[in-house]
């Protein structure tokens, strides 16, 4: 009888979670549809200047026409490649640096002021230097995206390593485990939630870094289209590029959420 009650309560809990998820998604869609409708109405009734702010219909027409011509797909593919590369390099590099900092307290103390300074420094200001040093190709743009991600990842993950209960490591060492084994079996898994949170943050940061890099140097990509649209006063092209950035940034975020769910499921 007790088992049946437990199953019923668990099923009710799952149903509640599903209902809450549906409510959240419904509100998200309602806000999105409401924003698009308000934007279109405001443009048609001249509450806003349609030349500057365009309208959803015009933006959609620009996206469809440029995709059918093939030009938008080329720019989109280039920006996606640069963003994903910068995201992966920055995130993996930050985790590796955080691991090195954790492995040596002396190294961590030496690097601490430099990490603080690098975190405070506006990474965008490094753009011209990177262009001169690495050239005007993909490498400088990818590096820009990676640099913006790597410092934040290092600081967050290293802090997560240090916040893990030290008793975990002491127990493993008491059973003869090495410090590396303790890190692999206890410290790293315990810091996994912080790493997942960093991935979510890095999605946005990598897009910012790549788009800024494309502003400075690119001859292709969505950032280039934004600058080109401003130059020729085609704000529908500018907004269509921004819409595509928002859509694919949201897709990347959702993929990270799926990864988070998979890691949580397989780590328990």
131-156 per-position pLDDT tens digit: 778 877 788 888 888 988 898 899 99
What are the b/e assignments for 11-20, b being 16+ CB within 10 Å? eeeeeeeeee
Contacts of 138 (CB under 8 A, 6+ apart): 78, 81, 82
pLDDT higher at 216 or 225: 225
State yes or no: pLDDT of 127 exceeds 90. no
Residues 198, 33: Cα–Cα separation, whole Å: 30
- Report the alpha-carbon distance of residue 187 to residue 174 in Å, rounded: 16
Q: Per-residue pLDDT for 200 more than 60?
A: yes
Q: Give the count of beta carbons closer than 10 Å to the beta carbon of residue 233.
A: 10
Looking at every residue in the chain, the average pLDDT score rounds to: 86
Looking at residue 181, what is its pLDDT? 84
Judge contact between 119 and 59, C-beta under 8 A: no
DSSP secondary structure code for residue 123 in this structure? G
pLDDT (mean) for 192-216:
87
Would you say 123 and 144 are in contact if contact means Cβ atoms under 8 Å apart? Answer: yes
Q: What six digits make up the tokens of 86? A: 């910068």
- Per residue in 59-75, is it b (16+ CB within 10 Å) or e — as a string? beebbeebeeeeebeeb
If DSSP codes are grouped into helix, strand and coil, which group holds residue 95? helix
Structure confidence at residue 267 (pLDDT): 60
Closest CA to 142 of 98, 195, 203, 90: 90
- Site of tokens 């059973």: 175
**How many Cβ atoms sit within 10 Å of the Cβ of residue 215?**
17
Alpha carbons 27 and 227: distance in angstroms, whole number: 34
pLDDT over 80 (residue 3): no
Phi and psi angles of residue 214, each rounded to the nearest 5 degrees, phi first = -70, -35
* pLDDT tens string 10-27: 677 777 878 888 898 899
Rounded to an integer, what distance in angstroms lies between the CA atom of residue 99 and that of residue 116? Answer: 17
pLDDT of residue 266 exceeding 70, the answer is no
Average pLDDT over residues 28-52: 91
Q: What mean pLDDT comes out for the span 115-124?
A: 81
Rg (CA), the chain: 23
The pLDDT value given to residue 36: 92
Q: Determine the Cα–Cα distance for residues 195 and 154; give it in Å rounded to an integer.
A: 10
pLDDT value at 122 more than 90: no
pTM here? 0.85
Which pLDDT band, with edges at 50, 70 and 90, does 189 fall under?
confident
């Amino acid at each position: 009888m007790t088992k049946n009650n437990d199953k019923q309560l668990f099923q009710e809990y799952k149903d509640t979670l599903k209902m809450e998820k549906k409510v959240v998604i419904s509100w998200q869609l309602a806000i999105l549809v409401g924003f698009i409708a308000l934007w279109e109405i405001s443009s048609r009734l001249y509450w806003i200047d349609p030349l500057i702010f365009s309208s959803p219909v015009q933006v959609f027409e620009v996206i469809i026409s440029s995709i059918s011509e093939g030009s938008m797909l080329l720019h989109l593919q280039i920006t996606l490649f640069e963003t994903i590369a910068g995201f992966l390099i920055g995130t993996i590099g930050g985790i590796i640096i955080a691991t090195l900092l954790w492995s040596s307290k002396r190294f961590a103390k030496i690097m601490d002021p430099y990490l603080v300074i690098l975190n405070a420094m506006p990474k965008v200001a490094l753009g011209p230097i990177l262009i001169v040093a690495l050239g005007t190709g993909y490498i400088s743009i990818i590096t820009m995206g990676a640099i913006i991600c790597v410092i934040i990842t290092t600081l967050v993950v290293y802090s997560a390593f240090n916040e893990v209960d030290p008793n975990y490591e002491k127990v493993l060492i008491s059973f003869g485990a090495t410090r590396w084994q303790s890190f692999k079996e206890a410290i790293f898994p315990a810091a996994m939630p912080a790493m997942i949170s960093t991935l979510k943050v890095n999605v946005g940061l990598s897009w910012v870094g790549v788009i800024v890099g494309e502003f400075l140097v690119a001859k292709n990509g969505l950032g280039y289209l934004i600058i080109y649209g401003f130059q020729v006063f085609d704000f529908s092209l500018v907004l269509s590029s921004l819409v595509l950035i928002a859509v694919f940034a949201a897709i990347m975020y959702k993929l990270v959420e799926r990864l988070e769910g998979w890691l949580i499921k397989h780590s328990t």
